[in-house]
Structure 1
Amino acid sequence: MRRPGLRWKLTAAIAAVSALVALALSIVVHNAAELSMLNSARDVQDTRVQLAAKIYESTHRLTITARLNDPKLPAGLKEAARKGLRATYIQETSGEPIIWAETPLPDNTILSINSRFSDRAAVLDDLDGVLIAGSVAVVLAGSALGVLIGGQLSRRLRKAAVAAREVADGDTRVRVRDAIGRRVHDETDELARAVDAMADALQERLEAERRVTADIAHELRTPVTGLVTAAELLPPGRPSELVRDRAQALRTLVEDVLEVARLDGAEERADLQEMALPEFVRRRVGGLAPDATVQVVRDAWVHTDPRRLERILGNLLANAGRYGKPPVEVVVDGPVLRVRDHGPGFPPDLLREGPSRFRTGSSDRAGQGHGLGLTIATGQARVLGAELSFRNVQGADGEEGASGAIAELRLPEVVPEADSRPGA
């Protein structure tokens, strides 16, 4: 399940904060309006009771629904009247509240009036409707702002992540600050500068290591060649055979190290051409590994460099023959080339991290090999624009109890016209 991105998290946070703020303000405004309305109603009722008292004192007539010594007068108002005070009171009922007002008269009677506050509910309902509409508008506006800001930030971070992955894949020309677009002095720009600085520093270190490796291998090339030539001049015998074998192994190692250094330099260019993959594989496998079987599931034409593809195929077959167990099978399925053995499979660290120099493709190598074969194959595949992956069988493909290692090379496929294919 895909987790929500930064854009939606930021939007949800802004929407939640906006909703809480709008709710708090709505409650405050509602309570303040209600209190203001009740105070105004009490002031009006107090004015009315004073007017009724003056009329009664002048004419001894009760007006404005005034009453003398009303038996329903709340106890609090009776107590205030006994003290000679004029007062108002709000009596809460199940329906509309009743606003009371009283004033004591000189003859020790209490004149009071009361009326229901019938307009409060309608006014507050209207006010609540306005507050709800305003709150919804605030939340929607905040969410839109969150989508806008979060989307911009998310796009910049996503572009930075893509650029960083390209740098990790070996494209030294990519820079994160250029990938994220226009300069905005924020955290993303600081992150881009830091990643670019780290990439530059790593590139300098890798280039320095590559140059040292290439220089050492190049300097060793001449004396090793002389050593191989001198070994060929030794008289026949078991000691001479061992010397020639080790000298040849040393020469192969030096050549492989030079090739790895060239591939690490990202300066290799493929001489691409269109060719029929099944025919190429049949011819090369017959010479590289005569005991291996070739199966063609589907024909395909690919766009590749034959010399580099032969190097990859040879290294995969050599790895399968050295660390796996027979039979070794080569399957051509369209533009996909698979090399499988029936050995113990690739070690977990190779499947997890990929090939690494001086680490072989088998968990039981017993200290033999230099691990450069799969490293060279991966580098050559990168030059070809192909994808080389590794996996173990272990029950896959419907084979119960099966085991073995599978190296899968996916090449760029082309579908040329029949009359334009080479050799057609």
Structure 2
Amino acid sequence: MRGYFRRLVAACVDRAGIGAGLRWKLSAAIALVGALVAVVLSLVVHNAARVSMLDNARDLADERIMIAQRNYEMSGRLNFPNTKIDDPRLPKELREKAEAGRRATYVTDRSGAPDIWAAVPLKNGHVMSLHSGFTDRSSDILTDLDQALVIGSIAVVLGGSALGVLIGGHLSRRLRKAASAANRVAKGETDVRVREAIGGVVRDETDNLACAVDAMADALRQRLEAERRVTADIAHELRTPVTGLLTAAELLPPGRPTELVLDRAKAMRTLVEDVLEVARLDSASERAELQDILLGEFVARRVAAKEPDATVHVVHESEVTTDPRRLERVLFNLLANAARHGRPPLEVTVEGRVIRVRDHGPGFPEALLAEGPSRFRTGSADRAGRGHGLGLTIATGQARVLGARLTFRNVRPAGAPDGVPAEGAVAVLWLPEHAPTNTGSYPVLT
């Protein structure tokens, strides 16, 4: 369950793309909306201003044509600028209204500049018209208005982009903090609270998300703890009857049946002890007892005692501070896994603080390489068809107590595709440069 939670959190973080994408996407969205609003408002304002100016110009032309009409009827001659009688250029629509006895104005566009026409019927049956253009002052006002609208639109877009960057940056920072805290929870840090990591002051969706993740982590932690306690209790209760069963089996008369009973009783006792050890490692209460040892010499002696047929290469000797008992446990489990599921020759290499255990078998299962060791899952039948899947789990837990890192990989020919069968499996133990005091370990005085 813990591995599933870790994979789930990692997948969510990868898919979220929290890095810089959210900030710039939000900025682009706000800028786009701002640009659209600015363009629409600019067009509306421009058209409204143009229509208003044209209406004023038509009203002015109408007043002038009325003055020109009165002057003409009083004096009998044209004495008003830009007026004509029966002008051939008079628009057809305006002429028809004037001939129908109506005074009217009309606007035409000529090369993008509007022309203002006004016409009025005379008593003698002729039509008086007045023709004027859009004034330069009105054109300048409209041009200045367009420039102001363009500058305002650009300011709105830039301001919206800056606002989007600020809002998106704040949101992405909170999400990044939440993702980092969730990753730490997935790695087993039980004291991490996502809501505290992002700062639980702002009440928004990220705060709700952090509360949900914290609640899920608490529920998962409680479930794992309950599962660990049940497992430990069962294993502890089984220890006494299994020990009695083994003692009773040793009293049986010699023979094949007795050997079979003893073999199964010993296997059961080993399983119970392994389960108890896994439970202790899961409780995070284990502490290393540190000593200074020569790593190459230590590994050579332990390998010779456990697997005499294995070859040990000490490339570079080094002195390390670690727990010899736990290191021996990790080494023996790796050797047992290689001997049981791999093929000879077994090779152990010590180089500085790094220990490599290699066999020449079919390699580790893909699930183990992708997710790490999992208890009671032995993987594919070609490599791990026997056992309970606890050996590598214990090795990984003991390495964690030592502050070390344990990795697994398969050996394939150089340049070979993934489908080519592996030529062996390699487990690599990386011991820390400094003593693992951050795990609560303590030195042993000798």
Deviations 1:356-377 (A, max 9, x none): 1112255325752111001111
Aligned to 1:421: none
Among 98, 120, 128, the alignment partner of 2:115 is 98
Distance 1:238 1:365, change over 3 A: farther
Q: Equivalent residues in 2 for 1:225-236 (5 A)?
A: 225-236=243-254
Could you tell me the percent identity over the aligned residues? Answer: 67
Distance 1:284 1:125, change over 3 A: farther
Rounded to whole Å, the distance in 2 between the matches of 1:300 and 1:126 is 81
Rounded to whole Å, the distance in 2 between the matches of 1:123 and 1:217 is 91
Among 228, 233, 239, the alignment partner of 1:210 is 228
Return the offset for 1:9. 2.0
Distance 1:333 1:35, change over 3 A: farther
Contact 1:295 1:331 in 2 (8 A): yes
Aligned to 1:40: 56
Among 103, 114, 119, the alignment partner of 2:131 is 114
Distance 1:42 1:334, change over 3 A: farther
In the alignment, structure 1 residue 130 sits paired with structure 2 residue 148:
yes
Return the offset for 1:348. 2.0
Aligned to 1:349: 367
Distance 1:401 1:214, change over 3 A: closer
Among 280, 287, 296, the alignment partner of 1:269 is 287
Task: Give the length in aligned residue pairs.
Answer: 415
Among 257, 268, 273, the alignment partner of 1:250 is 268
TM-score by length of 2: 0.85
Structure 1, unpaired ranges of 5+ = 416-424
Distance 1:257 1:44, change over 3 A: same
Among 385, 397, 402, the alignment partner of 2:403 is 385
Aligned to 2:427: 407
Q: Letter of the 1:161 partner, please give it.
A: A
Among 27, 35, 45, the alignment partner of 1:11 is 27
Contact 1:293 1:330 in 2 (8 A): yes
Aligned to 1:189: 207
Among 402, 408, 413, the alignment partner of 1:395 is 413
Return the offset for 1:345. 1.1
Rounded to whole Å, the distance in 2 between the matches of 1:263 and 1:33 is 79
Return the offset for 1:258. 0.4
Distance 1:43 1:298, change over 3 A: farther
Q: Letter of the 1:83 partner, please give it.
A: A
Rounded to whole Å, the distance in 2 between the matches of 1:248 and 1:270 is 28
Q: After alignment, is 338-347 or 272-281 more displaced?
A: 272-281
Return the offset for 1:190. 1.8
Rounded to whole Å, the distance in 2 between the matches of 1:107 and 1:303 is 123
3-state SS of paired residue (2:113): coil
Aligned to 1:281: 299
Q: Letter of the 2:56 partner, please give it.
A: S
CA RMSD, 1 decimal: 2.6
Q: After alignment, is 214-223 or 112-121 more displaced?
A: 112-121
Rounded to whole Å, the distance in 2 between the matches of 1:139 and 1:406 is 58
TM-score by length of 1: 0.89
Q: After alignment, is 329-338 or 262-271 more displaced?
A: 329-338
Structure 2, unpaired ranges of 5+ = 1-13, 436-446
Rounded to whole Å, the distance in 1 between the matches of 2:290 and 2:62 is 100
Q: Which runs of at least 4 in structure 1 moved beyond 6 Å after TM superposition?
A: 397-401
Q: Letter of the 1:12 partner, please give it.
A: A
Contact 1:303 1:411 in 2 (8 A): no
Q: After alignment, is 360-369 or 6-15 more displaced?
A: 360-369
3-state SS of paired residue (2:258): helix
